[in-house]
Amino acid sequence: MTLENISQNKVYQGWHKQYSHHSSSLQCDMQFAIFLPPNARQGEPVPVLYWLSGLTCSDQNFMQKAGAFRKAAELGIAIVAMDTSPRGEQVADDDNYDLGQGAGFYLNATQAPWAEHYRMYDYVTQELPKLIEANFPVSNRKAIAGHSMGGHGALTIGLKNPQQYCSISAFSPIVNPMQCPWGQKAFSAYLGHDIETWKPYDSCELIKQTDCQLPILVDQGDADNFLLEQLHTDTLVEAAKNYPGEINIRMQAGYDHSYFFISSFIEEHLAFHSQFLNA
């Protein structure tokens, strides 16, 4: 598969690089960004944290705003950030920010007109990791993390694929999309109206029946204006009482939904993942 290097910038003795490629899963051209720490070289592969961003974001929001590079360079962790949906004139879209391009919800759509391109679950779990491992000095040791819609993606993908990842973390995740306006709108469009088909993409439903034991860290700001209507962290707290692994759900006083929040705790998340990526 051909990769086109769009840009590269040296940072903390490592490299931030952005690429485009044609995705067979999504049937369109996609972009992703990768941070390679200074110790990433042939013969010394490094582990990877896959980052999933939220509604309206691209591969660049996290890379430009999170302030993750210094700690990732210190810990020797590569970071891969991808786009949040398929893109292009031929890709179905919607006039609203919470459906269509920029709002893929990290699932495999089954309903027209979305099913042709919206297969972000396959892209995240299969296509992109194979591409990264074939073209960069990284190992197959992976962790997954995300924010908001991307926190939903990180939790659901990690819980369903514990053999692929070492750890999971999330900031302000949409944990119970079956019961919130964002999730209900997206799931109805992408998956149809049979609610049984929604459950595999709902963290609170998954955690009730999972045998996954991956360590999980969740940070949620108590000043988040989406907390009550969209995020439902309290539902995850209740569901997590029966989780067979280690899960730490932290309410952070005064923090909102923004990258100011993420940048305040991203180094703790990287240190959390490092324990398991480098075990």
Query: Among the options 257, 269, 273, 274, which is catalytic?
Result: 257
Tell me, what amino acid is at 224? D
Q: How distant is the alpha carbon of residue 60 from its chain centre?
A: 13
| Residue 148 annotated among the catalytic residues of the structure | yes
Q: Return the sign of the alpha-carbon dihedral for residues 120, 123, 129, 134.
A: negative
Is there a contact between 169 and 273 (Cβ–Cβ < 8 Å)? yes
Query: Among the options 53, 85, 148, 203, which is catalytic?
Result: 148
Strand order in the sheet with 14-23: 4-11, 14-23, 28-36, 78-82, 46-52, 138-147, 168-171, 216-221, 247-252
| Residue 257 annotated among the catalytic residues of the structure | yes
Is there a contact between 245 and 192 (Cβ–Cβ < 8 Å)? no
Neighbours of 163 (CB within 10 A): 6
Query: Among the options 224, 269, 273, 274, which is catalytic?
Result: 224
Query: Alpha-carbon distance 274 to 147, whole Å?
Result: 19
| Residue 224 annotated among the catalytic residues of the structure | yes
Is there a contact between 28 and 125 (Cβ–Cβ < 8 Å)? no
Token digits for 125? 């779990």
Query: Alpha-carbon distance 161 to 43, whole Å?
Result: 27
Residues that are catalytic = 148, 224, 257
